[in-house]
Structure 1
Amino acid sequence: MASAARRPASHLPPRRLGRVADISRTFVGAWPVYDVSPLGAEPSAQVLYVHGGGYVGELERPHWELVRTLVTRARARVVVPAYILAPRGTADRTVPVATDLLSGLIAGGGDGGTVLIGDSAGAGLALAAAQRLRDRDGEQPSRIVLVSPWLDVTMSHPDQAAIEEADPVLARAGLAEAGRLYAGTLAAEDPLVSPLRGTFGGLAPMTVFSGTRDVLATDSRELVRRARAEGTEVEFHEAVGLPHVYPLLPVPEGRAARDRIVELVRSAAQL
C-alpha cells in the first residue's frame, strides 16, 4: 500500500473497450467517474458498478471486462466510479459520495431501471450506500447485485478460520488491516464500514453470488439470513469449490453467473 501511494496504479479503462462503447469521464468531487454506454445505441438500463480491491486496490482488467459484458450484452449504460482508496478514502467520506451518486442515477434514470452492482469491497460500499439512501429518503435501485461481498471488516466470524485454509486468494490478516484503514476514525463495527451490522428491511431485491472457497462466504450467508428475516427478497447463488469473485473469472461457473447478471439488468429495463 505504501508503494501504491507513491506510484498509484492506473484506473483507466483498457483501450479495446473503446471499440464497443462510448466512454466519457467526469468528476464527482475528487472522484473520477467513467460513463460507459453501448456504441451508437440508446441504453435500455443503467448500472452503477462499484469495483472491489479491498478498498486499497484500483480498477483492474477483470472489473473492466465485467463492464464490457454489461455494455455489450445487457445494452446498459454503466457508471463506474474510481473512488478514493484507503487510507485517504475512509468510509465516512466514501459512503456519502457513493450514496449521492446512486441517488442521482435513480433520479435521472428515465424509463429504464437502475441496478446497483458491486464486487468484494465494492459490494460492501454499494450496500452501505443503499442502506444510507433508504434511511435518507426511502429511495432504492431496481435491484442490488453483490458479488462475493465483503460486508464485515472485523473478520470475526468463527467459521472463517476453517474456510481460510482452503481459500487460494484471501487471508484474514490482510483483510483486517485493509478494513482498519478504510474505517479511519470510525469503529470497524459501524454500519458505514461494515454494512452487515446494519439493517436490511426496505432494501431493493438482492442477488448474491459467493463461492465456498472464499473466506468471505460467511458474510454472504449472514446477509442472506438476516435480509430474508427482515423481509427483503434475496436470490442466493453459492458455488461449491469456487473462490472469491468467481463470477469475474473465465471459468464455466463464472460465465453462468455473468449470464444471470445480464438477465437481471435486462429485466430491470423492463420494469
Structure 2
Amino acid sequence: MVTVPSSIVAPALRLIRANRTFVSADEARRHVRRRELRPTRYGPPRQLHPDVRVDIEHRDGWPVYTIRPRNGSPTGSLVYVHGGGWVNQIVLQHWQLAAQIAAEANTTVTVPIYPLVPFGTAAEVASYLVDLVRHNIASYGSTSIGGDSAGGQISLSVALALRDEHGITLPRTVLISPALDLTWDNPMIPVVQPTDPWLATPGGKVFAEYWRGDRDLRDPVVSPLFGDLAGLGPITLFSGTRDVLNPDARLLVDKAAASGVGLDFHERPGQLHVYPLLPTMVGREARAIIVSRIRSAQAD
C-alpha cells in the first residue's frame, strides 16, 4: 500500500465530494435506489496478499469469505464486518486490512458479505452474525469480532447479543470509527460537522431509517451505545477528531469505564473517519495495533 501524507486526505475527499450521499437526505435516498438497481461488486482483488489464501462458501445464501495464512497453522479467528453506511459494498481497503490481519496475526479472518439496505436490516444481519461467530468458535476456537463504521455498529451489537443470548464473552472487539447511536442526536455532532469531509447527519439519518427495520433506533441491535456494556470482553476503539462519530466514541469510552469493561481508546487529533483504513503513516500505525490486539486475543 502506497503511503500518502495525512494532510492531503481531507482536501482530496472534499474535492471528490466524498460526503455527497450524506449531506442531503434526498441524495441519500437516491443513492439507496442506485445501489438497489445496480449492486456493486464485492469480491476480493486478484492480487490481495502473497501470504494468504482466500476461499468462499455460501451459508444460507450469503457469500462468506475465509482468509488464511498460506503457511503454518493459524490460531483462532476474527469475523470482520465491513463498513459503508449500511448501503455501500466492501471495498479494497477492507480486503487489505483483513488480509494483513490474517497474515501478520496468524489467524483465520472471516468476511461475510451481508445484505445492504434496502434489502438487509440490523436485526437480521446481527442474528446471522451471531450464528457465524458461534460457528467460528466451534471451528477455530477463540474468535474475535471487528469492523469499521457501519461494521463497527454491527460488531458491537453482535458482541452484546452473544453475551445476552448465549453467554459468550468475546476475547476482543475491534471498533474502527463505529456508528454507535443511529439517532444522530449527540449535541456535539454539529460542533464537529464543519471539520468532517466525509459524513453528515441528513444522509446518516436516512440510512439509519432503512437499517433499523422494525426496531426502535435506541434498540441496542441498531444503536449499541444504548446497550448495557457490563460483561463484555475488552474493546479496542479507534476514532479521529474530524469525524462526526467521534463524540459518540467518547461516550462509549465513559460508559465502558463505568461498566468495568476494558477499553483501549486510540483517538487521533485531526484524523478522519476510518483513519486506520487510510494509506497514511497514522493509518499504518493503527493497523499494526489492530494486528497486535488480535494476535494477543488468540494467545489468551
TM-score by length of 2: 0.87
> Matched residues in 1 for 2:191 and 2:212: separation?
26
Determine the C-alpha separation between the residues in 2 that align with 1:62 and 1:6. 24
User: Which residues in structure 2 correspond to 1:214-225 (within 5 Å)?
Assistant: 214-225=243-254
Instruction: Name the SS for the 2:94 alignment partner.
Output: helix
Q: Tell me whether 1:253 sits opposite 2:282 in the alignment.
A: yes
Q: What residue number does 1:199 align with?
A: 228
Residue-by-residue CA offset, 1:235-258 (whole Å, 9 max, x unaligned): 111000000000001111111111
Aligned ranges 1:102-113 → 2 under 5 Å: 102-110=133-141, 113=142
Among 176, 189, 192, which residue is 1:160 paired with? 189
* Map of 1:123 onto structure 2: 152
Aligned residue-pair number: 269
Cα RMSD (Å): 1.2
Whether the aligned pair in 2 keeps the contact of 1:145 and 1:207 (CA below 8 Å) is: yes
Large movers: runs of 4+ above 4 Å: none
- Residue by residue over 1:207-245, the C-alpha shift from the partner in whole angstroms, topping out at 9 and shown as x without a partner, is 100000000001211111111101111111100000000
The answer on 1:267 being equivalent to 2:296 is yes
Aligned residue number for residue 148 of structure 1: 177
Q: Distance in 2 between matches of 1:187 and 1:181?
A: 12
User: SS where residue 289 of structure 2 aligns?
Assistant: helix
Matched, 1:62 2:93: yes
1:1-271 to structure 2, matched below 5 A, reads: 1-17=32-48, 19-110=50-141, 113-271=142-300
Percent of aligned positions with the same letter in both sequences?
Answer: 41
Give per-residue Cα distances to partners, 1:103-153, cap 9 Å, x unaligned.
22123323xx32211110001001111101100121022111100010111
* Counterpart AA for 2:87: V
Q: Could you tell me whether the CA contact under 8 Å between 1:214 and 1:244 is conserved in 2? A: yes
Give the equivalent residue in structure 1 for 2:6: none
CA distance in 1, matches of 2:77, 2:191: 39
Tell me the distance in 2 between the aligned counterparts of 1:255 and 1:121.
Answer: 21
Q: Deviation at 1:86?
A: 1.3
Partner Cα distance (1:108, 1:72) in 2: 19
Say whether the 8 Å CA contact 1:46–1:115 is kept in structure 2. yes
Would the aligned equivalents of 1:189 and 1:197 in 2 still touch at CA under 8 Å? yes
How far is the alpha carbon of 1:270 from its aligned partner? 1.5
In 1, Cα distance between equivalents of 2:139 and 2:180: 28
Which structure 2 residue ranges, 5 or more long, are not aligned? Answer: 1-31
> Structure 1 length normalisation: TM-score?
0.96
Q: Which has the larger displacement, 20-29 or 74-83?
A: 20-29
8 Å contact kept, 2:117–2:211: yes
- Per-residue deviation, 1:18: 6.4
